[in-house]
Structure 1
Protein backbone atom coordinates (compact mmCIF):
# COMPACT_ATOMS: atom_id res chain seq x y z
CA UNK A 1 0.00 0.00 0.00
CA UNK A 2 2.84 2.40 0.82
CA UNK A 3 4.38 1.80 -2.59
CA UNK A 4 1.15 2.81 -4.33
CA UNK A 5 0.93 5.98 -2.22
CA UNK A 6 4.52 6.86 -3.04
CA UNK A 7 4.00 6.10 -6.71
CA UNK A 8 0.99 8.44 -6.81
CA UNK A 9 2.82 11.23 -5.00
CA UNK A 10 6.05 11.04 -7.01
CA UNK A 11 4.73 12.49 -10.32
CA UNK A 12 3.14 15.35 -8.34
CA UNK A 13 6.39 16.05 -6.49
CA UNK A 14 8.38 15.79 -9.70
CA UNK A 15 6.11 18.22 -11.55
CA UNK A 16 6.41 20.65 -8.63
CA UNK A 17 10.21 20.46 -8.65
CA UNK A 18 10.39 20.62 -12.44
CA UNK A 19 8.01 23.60 -12.49
CA UNK A 20 10.24 25.41 -10.00
CA UNK A 21 13.26 24.65 -12.17
CA UNK A 22 11.53 26.07 -15.25
CA UNK A 23 10.60 29.24 -13.36
CA UNK A 24 14.19 29.58 -12.14
CA UNK A 25 15.41 29.34 -15.73
CA UNK A 26 12.94 32.06 -16.78
CA UNK A 27 14.03 34.30 -13.91
CA UNK A 28 17.70 33.91 -14.83
CA UNK A 29 17.01 34.71 -18.48
CA UNK A 30 16.41 31.22 -19.80
CA UNK A 31 19.03 28.77 -21.08
CA UNK A 32 22.25 30.45 -22.11
Structure 2
Protein backbone atom coordinates (compact mmCIF):
# COMPACT_ATOMS: atom_id res chain seq x y z
CA UNK A 1 0.00 0.00 0.00
CA UNK A 2 2.79 2.42 0.89
CA UNK A 3 4.57 2.02 -2.45
CA UNK A 4 1.27 2.38 -4.33
CA UNK A 5 0.49 5.67 -2.56
CA UNK A 6 3.95 6.99 -3.41
CA UNK A 7 3.83 5.75 -7.00
CA UNK A 8 0.58 7.46 -7.98
CA UNK A 9 1.77 11.08 -7.46
CA UNK A 10 4.98 10.25 -9.34
CA UNK A 11 3.01 8.94 -12.32
CA UNK A 12 0.86 12.09 -12.25
CA UNK A 13 4.00 14.25 -12.26
CA UNK A 14 5.35 12.36 -15.28
CA UNK A 15 2.03 12.80 -17.11
CA UNK A 16 2.02 16.53 -16.32
CA UNK A 17 5.59 16.88 -17.60
CA UNK A 18 4.74 15.02 -20.81
CA UNK A 19 1.63 17.15 -21.30
CA UNK A 20 3.68 20.31 -20.67
CA UNK A 21 6.31 19.23 -23.22
CA UNK A 22 3.54 18.42 -25.71
CA UNK A 23 2.01 21.89 -25.28
CA UNK A 24 5.45 23.50 -25.71
CA UNK A 25 6.02 21.57 -28.95
CA UNK A 26 2.56 22.55 -30.19
CA UNK A 27 3.28 26.24 -29.49
CA UNK A 28 6.60 25.96 -31.36
CA UNK A 29 4.87 24.38 -34.38
CA UNK A 30 2.25 27.16 -34.38
CA UNK A 31 4.95 29.86 -34.19
CA UNK A 32 6.87 28.28 -37.08
CA UNK A 33 3.74 27.96 -39.22
CA UNK A 34 2.88 31.63 -38.57
CA UNK A 35 6.37 32.76 -39.62
CA UNK A 36 6.19 31.01 -43.01
- CA-based RMSD: 1.5
Q: TM-score, normalised by structure 1?
A: 0.72
Higher relative contact order by CA 8 Å / sep ≥ 6: 1 or 2?
Answer: 1
Q: Where does structure 2 lack aligned partners over 5 or more consecutive residues?
A: 32-36
Paired residues in the alignment total 30
Q: TM-score, normalised by structure 2?
A: 0.67
Runs of 4+ in 1 over 4 A off after TM superposition: none
Q: Where does structure 1 lack aligned partners over 5 or more consecutive residues?
A: none
Question: Which structure: larger Rg?
Answer: 2
